[in-house]
Amino acid sequence: MSAKETGGTALLQPSPAKSGGKFSWRLEYDSSRIRSPWWTPILSVILALLLCAVFIAANGMSPITVYEKMFHGAFGTAYGFTETMVKAIPLLLCGLGIAVAYRISIWNIGAEGQLTVGAMAATAVTIYFPDLPTFWALSLMLVFGFAAGAFWGLLTAVPRTHFGVNELITSLMLNYVALLALDYVVFGPWKDPKGFNFPGSPMFTAAQSLPVLGSTRLHIGLLFGLIAVAVYYLMIRFTKWGYELRLIGANPTAARYAGIHIKRHIIIVMLISGGLAGIAGMAEVSGVTHKLMQGISPGYGYTAIIVAWLAKLNPMGLIVTSILFGGLIVGGYSVQTIGLPSSISEMLQGSILFFLIAGDMIHRFRIRRGA
């Protein structure tokens, strides 16, 4: 068709130079959109549930049954809900510790090991000072738990500040060291002679156990967690130290020029971070298991990483996400009754994290029309 035949209508058609341009789309990155919307964590949880539903269905189970079972197990009954809260306590304490470190971009993934040594130190108190009265026993266990966790954090902080070793690798290696040390004491020197050869320390006495709420297993460690969250909020918000942390987090170069001693902050932050995880370990042995045994933590330290990230380091968010993930762990146990492994909850956690980090970035892209 020639231009003559079409006559004036040719003017309405896109010129060859622009053709394609009108219908081409491209993604444009807008780095100014740093704050992600509040609904990304919620959406990522939903998408993760959908993704894992595919794997569950592929294995010949009904995802709805499995999720129903998990939800009912975690939140459906009074017993389930207190169990969820019991799991939320270590997640809250470890997650808070991780959040403090993330404030200045220190990636502490060693909460698992820090929790383990905290539990070991608390148990050491019961073994070497067996006859202390309640107050002194519990206080000493708390101090020992904190100190042990903080020391484990220091073992990560010093290689980072003085030798330039990536804290991710150090903290993770120390997790394995802590777990092996735990195995050693529960199979070796601290093994209960009356324990029918079962690997574990002797049972704690009533004076060495944290008080519980009524007839449930929910123990006073919940208060430790809530107090720690409140202190964290006030420190970050109202103290000079908190201001310096926020400054380092926002712009480390500017912070250094402003004369802030970053190395010192890294060490302090790792002491706090590890110490909080240590308290979580103390609360776990003294409040829940009442003895030291293998597998004291079903991966609380790793789950707490997602708890902290999902909460966007926000104190209130930490409380909500740790309860959610406590529920996920309890729900994971409850699917074992229908023959599924509890690791289903780990799978869900990993996929929540995938969708979360993707969601944080996707909204920074804009779809643009035209060239």
Partner 1 sequence: MDFTTQLLIAAISAGTPLLLATLGGILNERAGIIQLGAEGLMLMGAVTTCIIYIRTGNLLLALLATVAVTAVLGLLHSFLCVTLRANQTMSGLAMTLFGSGLSAYLGKPISGIPLPGTSPKLHLPWLEPVPVIGPIFSHMDYLTWFSLLLVVVLHLLIHRTSWGLHLRSVGDNPATADVMGIRVQLIRYSYVICGAALIGLAGADMVLAYAPTWNEGLTAGRGWIAVGLVIFARWNPLRALFCAYFFGALDSLGFRIQLLGSAIPSYFLKMIPYIVTILVLMYLGYRNRNKPSGTPEALGVPYIREQRF
DSSP 82-131: HHHHHHHHHHHHHHHHHHHHHHTT-----HHHHHHHHHHHHHHHHHHSTT
Residue 295 or 370 having the CB closest to partner 1:
295
Residue for token digits 């992600």?
A: 36
Q: Which 3 state secondary structure label does DSSP give 349?
A: helix
Cα angle value 169/170/176 (rounded, 5°): 90
Phi, psi of 195 (to 5 degrees): -95, 20
Q: Smallest gap, in angstroms, from Cβ of residue 217 to partner 1?
A: 26
Q: Smallest gap, in angstroms, from Cβ of residue 299 to partner 1?
A: 9
Residue 204 or 325 having the CB closest to partner 1:
325
Q: Smallest gap, in angstroms, from Cβ of residue 99 to partner 1?
A: 14
Phi, psi of 194 (to 5 degrees): -100, 20
Question: CA-CA distances (angstroms) from residue 236 to 128, 147, 169, 243, 269?
Answer: 38, 22, 27, 6, 12
Binding site for partner 1 (CB under 8 A): 29, 31, 55, 59, 107, 109, 155, 159, 163-166, 168-170, 172-177, 180-181, 183-184, 187-188, 302, 305-306, 309, 340-341, 343-351, 353-354, 357-358, 360-362, 365
User: Residue 194 corresponds to which tokens in the numbers above?
Assistant: 């009356």
User: What distance in Å separates the CA atoms of residue 63 and residue 296, rounded to the nearest whole number?
Assistant: 30
Residue 6 or 65 having the CB closest to partner 1:
65
Whats the size of the chain, residue-wise?
A: 371
Residue 13 or 343 having the CB closest to partner 1:
343
Q: Smallest gap, in angstroms, from Cβ of residue 320 to partner 1?
A: 20
Residue 29 or 135 having the CB closest to partner 1:
29
Q: Smallest gap, in angstroms, from Cβ of residue 315 to partner 1?
A: 21
Q: Smallest gap, in angstroms, from Cβ of residue 364 to partner 1?
A: 8
Cα angle value 325/328/330 (rounded, 5°): 115
Phi, psi of 25 (to 5 degrees): -120, 145
Residue 187 or 238 having the CB closest to partner 1:
187
User: Residue 368 corresponds to which tokens in the numbers above?
Assistant: 């643009």
User: What distance in Å separates the CA atoms of residue 75 and residue 297, rounded to the nearest whole number?
Assistant: 21
Residue 224 or 325 having the CB closest to partner 1:
325
Residue 107 or 333 having the CB closest to partner 1:
107
**Residue 262 DSSP label:** H
Q: Smallest gap, in angstroms, from Cβ of residue 344 to partner 1?
A: 6
Q: Smallest gap, in angstroms, from Cβ of residue 172 to partner 1?
A: 5
Q: Smallest gap, in angstroms, from Cβ of residue 326 to partner 1?
A: 17
The distance in angstroms from the start CA to the end CA of the chain is 28
User: What distance in Å separates the CA atoms of residue 246 and residue 260, rounded to the nearest whole number?
Assistant: 12
Residue for token digits 């250094």?
A: 256
Residue 161 or 209 having the CB closest to partner 1:
161
